[in-house]
């Protein structure tokens, strides 16, 4: 199981909402959470669209948008914090990815050394691959993002397909339930 401090915490609220929707007394709370999430996401999307449609977005992406909407003084300081936040987020995502891969290796008895060092090895390889993509340039990064989007869409489809597959007692003991 990936640690809670990893970047995989983005998937946990979705599972909590699914759990809330399965409880008859709390299903209203799950609907409220989904409604709030849709509202916040919609407002953020509309705000970003309003900023972007005011002119041509040059290189820099989010940094450029922040500095253009808030001015160079605030934009620079927020951009610096944004850069550090992204660096920390990448580190957490890599650790979460490495922990998940190590868990899969444990299930198939394919450990390299031991769990702790396997996380370090897989994390280091992942960071080197990400560094190579970043150094190669924006064209390669854009191509890699399309590939990662396809992988993410397959993972989301896998989640929904898995909910309709019947589960046996062994799967239920491991926490995998389907619609009942």
- List of residues 6+ apart from 83 with CB closer than 8 A: 63
pLDDT of res. 2: 43
What whole-number percentage of the chain has pLDDT above 70? 76
Q: What is the separation, in whole angstroms, between the first and last Cα of the chain?
A: 25
pLDDT of res. 126: 93
Cα angle 5-118-153, degrees, rounded to a multiple of 5: 60
When the pLDDT of each residue in the chain is averaged and rounded to a whole number, the result is 78
Mean pLDDT in residue range 47-53: 74
Mean pLDDT in residue range 39-54: 80
What whole-number percentage of the chain has pLDDT above 90? 10
pLDDT of res. 13: 59
> What is the secondary structure of 97-125 as a DSSP string?
HHHHHHHHHHHTT--SS-HHHHHHHHHHH
Higher pLDDT, 151 or 15: 151
pLDDT of res. 7: 43
pLDDT per residue as tens digits for the range 73-113: 777 787 788 888 888 888 888 988 898 889 888 888 888 88
pLDDT of res. 123: 93
In the numeric block, which tokens belong to residue 9? Answer: 């915490």
Mean pLDDT in residue range 110-129: 90
> What is the secondary structure of 23-41 as a DSSP string?
STTTHHHHHHHHHHHHHHH
């Amino acid at each position: 199981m990936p640690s809670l401090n990893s970047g995989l915490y983005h998937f946990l609220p979705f599972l909590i909402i699914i759990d809330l929707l399965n409880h008859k007394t709390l299903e209203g709370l799950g609907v409220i959470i989904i409604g709030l999430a849709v509202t916040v996401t919609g407002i953020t999307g509309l705000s970003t669209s309003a900023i972007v449609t005011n002119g041509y977005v040059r290189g820099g992406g989010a940094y450029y948008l922040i500095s253009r909407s808030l001015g160079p003084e605030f934009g620079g300081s927020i951009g610096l914090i944004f850069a550090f936040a992204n660096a920390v987020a990448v580190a957490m995502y890599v650790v979460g990815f490495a922990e998940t891969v190590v868990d899969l290796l444990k299930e198939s008895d394919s450990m390299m050394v031991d769990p702790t060092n396997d996380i370090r090895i897989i994390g280091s390889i992942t960071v080197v691959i990400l560094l190579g993509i970043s150094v190669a340039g924006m064209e390669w990064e854009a191509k890699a993002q399309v590939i990662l989007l396809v992988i993410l869409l397959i993972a989301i489809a896998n989640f929904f397909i898995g909910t309709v597959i019947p589960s046996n007692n062994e799967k239920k003991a491991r926490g995998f339930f389907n619609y009942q």
